[in-house]
Amino acid sequence: MNKIEHIGIAVKNLEASNKLFAQLLGVNHYKIEEVLSEGVTTSFFKAGPNKIELLEATNLDSPIAKFIQKKGEGIHHIAFAVTDIYSEITRLKNEGFIVLNDTPKKGADNKLVVFLHPKSSNGVLVELCQDIE
């Protein structure tokens, strides 16, 4: 794994949260993107070398809607940048991690993504991200 790619935060209201995080970080978001396959709209902020992804559910069946219903707003996942997502899937499976999607899918911000089940990573939902070239 190369670095922390971003931290994902589940929010109820993206517009209000964009204002809050703009005040907090002193910068405006640089991108809003809908990810239909996940039922979310995302907003990205850069804070120095770090990125924050805000996630708002677009339907009641989305993973973000279920997360907020169960736990409320807050940190949803931590994402790590990887160079070869396929070899990382194999490596992590061999290490005993539970991979939620064996085949990477297109995520926000021009990435291929795969998630690890929180049961296998101390309760933290882990996302692996690789740039789509």
Side chain identity, residue 43 = S
Scan for tokens 């850069």, then name that residue. 46
- Distance, in Å, from the CA atom of 81 to the CA atom of 2, rounded to the nearest integer, reads 5
pLDDT in tens, 49-107: 899 999 999 999 999 999 999 999 999 999 999 999 999 999 999 999 999 998 999 99
- Identify the three-state secondary structure at position 132: coil
Question: In the structure encoding, which two tokens stand for residue 71, read together?
Answer: 């736990």
Residue with tokens 């070899």: 87
- HSE-CB at 84 with a 13 A cutoff on CA atoms is 6
Instruction: Round to whole Å and give the CA distance between 133 and 33.
Output: 18
pLDDT at 1 over 90: no
pLDDT greater than 90 at residue 133: no
Mean pLDDT of 41-55: 95
Helices (H) then strands (E): counts for the chain: 3, 8
Give the C-alpha separation, 32 to 54, whole Å.
Answer: 9
Residue type, 88: E
**Helix (H) or strand (E) segment spanning residue 14:** helix 14-25
